[in-house]
Amino acid sequence: MKKKIYILAPYPKGQAPSQRFRFEQYLDILEKEGCEVKFYSFLSEKAWKTLYQPGNYLGKFDQVMISFMRRWGLIFKLKKADHVFVHREMAHIGPPIFEWISAKILGVKYIYDFDDAIWLPNYSEANARFQRLKAYWKVKYCMKWAHKVTAGNDYLADFARKYNNNVEVIPTTIDLQNHHNLETNQSLKPLVIGWTGTHTTMRYLSEITPVLQELEKDHEFEFHVISNEKPDFELKSLRFIPWNKETEIEDLARIQIGVMPLVEDQWSAGKCGFKALQYMALSIPTLLSPVGVNMVIVEDEENGFFCDSQNDWKVILEKLLNDEALRTKIGLEGRKRVKEAYSVNANTAKYLALFNNQER
């Protein structure tokens, strides 16, 4: 008899990076291992599109209410599953009522998975006025009532251990065979320095914008920003590329030097280094701030470069702009690092082990 695994997540399949690169890559593998996997998102495709557009508050309310009704219909069926895996939360907003019913009334031993410091407020401008509905305080209860917690890095795991003794670190991973399966060409001109991310993290680029302005005076390059929103800073080298799921790997592979500036705070400490991992997977030499898990992923000057000041950014960017052999060497070492520790192949056994034992 097939083992039944129910996956509960906030967003529709294939839409959110946190889901795509934490567990969705493993669903086919689980099915090949003889498991019956059912995926239940809180938001439908229609609700997802409605919720992240400005305005239309009545439409948003209607879609959220429909999502809650769908979740209520599912929650009492969880006992049919051999394993229940919850990513971030059972409901996108509100208190942890579904987690409480599952654990305390139904006795469901769910696995709770998260990959950011989601106990800290973080929201889009489109929904800023409703951010209190997110109930960020609920995260500790989701962890406390879980049978097991899987976290994206040690910082997150240490936080989870305040509320649960059964915590395991499973990194956010890259599929080198089916997705990030290209490598950058370091011989192409003009050279491309690049960054990818959402508009909410674009503010970190303010640290390196003056550096790029200085480099523009003596070097010919393009600065590609791959995002869901156009940046508003002044750079002659700037080229905005709207993020597109269908072309994201080709767009990333055109980058020849990847940058990941961050500031040192609680939110950055909770990040799982995914931007750096994407660059490194495509053999793109990566420059990043020495913050949080970045210091675990990268060995400075071996498979990437740490930049702790504007002078660091300028010196290392200039060195790489002038040295194709160095770009190639560091890029290949970065890809090797991803393959050994942060690829789907390297972490498949951890996911399979989560569902080896009956947890009903």
Q: What is the pLDDT of residues 117-157, one digit of tens each?
A: 888 876 545 444 556 667 889 999 999 999 999 999 999 99
DSSP character at residue 322 = T
Walk across the sheet containing 191-196 and list its strands: 238-242, 221-227, 191-196, 257-260, 286-288, 305-306
C-alpha distances (whole Å) from 225 to each of 172, 252, 284 are 22, 10, 15
Going from N- to C-terminal start, the domains of the chain cover 3-173+344-354, 191-342
pTM for the predicted model, two decimal places: 0.89
Average pLDDT rounded to a whole number, residues 284-292 = 95
Please provide the average confidence, as pLDDT, over all residues in the chain.
91
pLDDT band (50, 70, 90) for residue 12: very high
DSSP character at residue 304 = B
Domain 191-342 is found in CATH 3.40.50.10490: no
Alpha-carbon gap, residue 330 to 312, rounded angstroms = 17
Q: Using the predicted structure, report yes or no on whether residue 255 has a pLDDT greater than 70.
A: yes
Alpha-carbon gap, residue 174 to 45, rounded angstroms = 25
Q: Comparing 3-173+344-354 with 191-342, is the CATH topology the same?
A: yes
pLDDT band (50, 70, 90) for residue 17: confident
How are beta strands 148-151 and 83-87 bridged, if at all? unpaired
Q: Say if CB 5 and CB 82 are below 8 A apart.
A: yes
Look up residue 174 and give its two tokens: 């890259």
Dihedrals phi, psi of 110, to nearest 5 degrees: -85, 155
Dihedrals phi, psi of 223, to nearest 5 degrees: -110, 105
What pLDDT does 358 receive? 52
Q: How far is CA 38 from the centre of its chain?
A: 22
How are beta strands 286-288 and 35-41 bridged, if at all? unpaired
Q: Using the predicted structure, report yes or no on whether residue 29 has a pLDDT greater than 80.
A: yes
**Half-sphere exposure of 7 toward its Cβ, with a 13 Å CA cutoff?**
27
Q: Is the dihedral of CA 101, 104, 107, 112 positive or negative?
A: positive
Alpha-carbon gap, residue 298 to 63, rounded angstroms = 42
* Lowest-confidence region among 110-124, 189-203, 304-318: 110-124
Q: Write the CATH number of the domain with boundaries 3-173+344-354.
A: 3.40.50.2000
Average pLDDT rounded to a whole number, residues 76-88 = 95
What pLDDT does 301 receive? 96
Average pLDDT rounded to a whole number, residues 150-166 = 95
What tens digit of pLDDT does each residue of 218-246 get?
Answer: 999 999 999 988 998 889 999 999 999 89
- Return all residues near 77 (Cβ < 8 A) that are at least 6 apart: none
For residue 333, give the amino acid letter.
Answer: E
Average pLDDT rounded to a whole number, residues 328-355 = 96
